[in-house]
Amino acid sequence: MLLLSLILSLLILCSYIYLYFNHYRFLNIQSFFITLVLGFIILFIHLITRTLPYDLASVSIIGALLLLFKHRAILVWKSARMFFTRILGLTLAVTFLALALNLLSHIPVPVLNALFLWIGWITISTLFALVHYLSWSSAFSMVVLPEPIDVIIVLGAGLYRNQVTQMLAWRLDRAVALYQNHHGNPYIVVSGGTGEGDEVSEAEAMQAYLIEQHIPEDRIISEDQSHSTFENLNNTKALISNQAFEHIAIVTSQFHILRGLRFAQVLKMNAVGAGSRTPYPFFDTALIRDFFALMYCYKLLLTIYFGALFIGSMFIKHPILLEFFLSMF
């Protein structure tokens, strides 16, 4: 079992090394999901064998160091250093919480000790999933997408005084760069409805910004009814359904791209993704919020996984339950 865990850990390590080079092949939501599941399998193996996940922990640390090294140039900015400090502090806090729960699982109180063990392994799983999510999101922010691209979908991010925000401007700048670097003049879909207190829709403001960046108006398609990421993509799919668009690129902030691609997968849209920069004062809050939102998209997987952890924890702390279960067969 531990040999299987080591092999799976090496596969995840290979994926992190691959992500370091930001190559577009295999950089998709399916590969993210598969490697996430591999990590959960590794953790479950260590739970039932009553061993520490030293292999996955080592791989996660290597992944985090690769992530830090890849973005070393931005550490000259104070806001970037503060962001990394906050993320490091959060990671250490979650690690200490997991260790504390593991210690509490040794108290001689039936059921309660199993619950502490269960929650401890959920905490460890969350820590792994967060590092995994950060590594993948980072790769999307630097990926160079292949030719051809027929249409670029830019997801909205809210307005301020009827103007695009800095975050939304960076999404649009990423779309402009894709437009300029790809032959065939792909269409750009701007997606976003009218928010409370706004006089114009996000789509209108985004279109005006793109025209200022010298994007021809006849290459811009507006979708101005959506108020969520899922609606952005669902409405856009209906809007372009009569067009012969085979190669679709979704552009949004790097912390948001995985959720965008997950919704595209649900809607059966064959799309690639490109992430844009995010203002650092808002980055950690937005990142954590979207991380949990993405995990919620996999609620069936998490329900099965957390259920397996619960059963494993109960059997470990109360072997008589396992004996009773086995006696039934």
Instruction: List the single range of 10-19, 167-176, 276-285 with lowest mean pLDDT.
Output: 276-285
252 and 176, same structural domain?
Answer: yes
pLDDT higher than 80, residue 232: yes
The total of other beta-carbon atoms located within 10 Å of residue 203's CB is 24
Nearest 5 degrees, angle CA 279-CA 248-CA 212? 50
236 and 112, same structural domain?
Answer: no
Query: 179 lies in a domain?
Result: yes
pLDDT higher than 70, residue 323: no
More confident residue, 319 or 3: 3
Looking at residue 251, the DSSP 8-state letter turns out to be: E
Q: HSE on the CB side for 276, CA within 13 Å?
A: 26
Query: 284 lies in a domain?
Result: no
The total of other beta-carbon atoms located within 10 Å of residue 145's CB is 18
Token output for 310: 């619960």
pLDDT higher than 90, residue 133: yes
Query: 292 lies in a domain?
Result: no
166 and 203, same structural domain?
Answer: yes
Integer Cα distance of 166 and 160 in angstroms: 9
31 and 115, same structural domain?
Answer: yes
**Dihedral over Cα of 255, 260, 266, 268: its sign:** negative
Cis peptide before 146 (omega within 30 of 0): no
Residues forming beta bridges with residue 271, ordered by sequence position: 248
Are 215 and 179 within 8 A, CB to CB? Answer: yes
240 and 167, same structural domain?
Answer: yes
Query: 290 lies in a domain?
Result: no
- Average pLDDT for 177-200: 86
pLDDT higher than 90, residue 327: no
> For position 322, what pLDDT does the model report?
60
186 and 123, same structural domain?
Answer: no
Model confidence band, residue 161 (pLDDT cutoffs 50, 70, 90)? confident
* 251: nearest Cα among 123, 149, 164: 149
Integer Cα distance of 148 and 186 in angstroms: 9
> For position 146, what pLDDT does the model report?
78
Could you tell me the residue range of the domain that residue 214 belongs to?
151-279
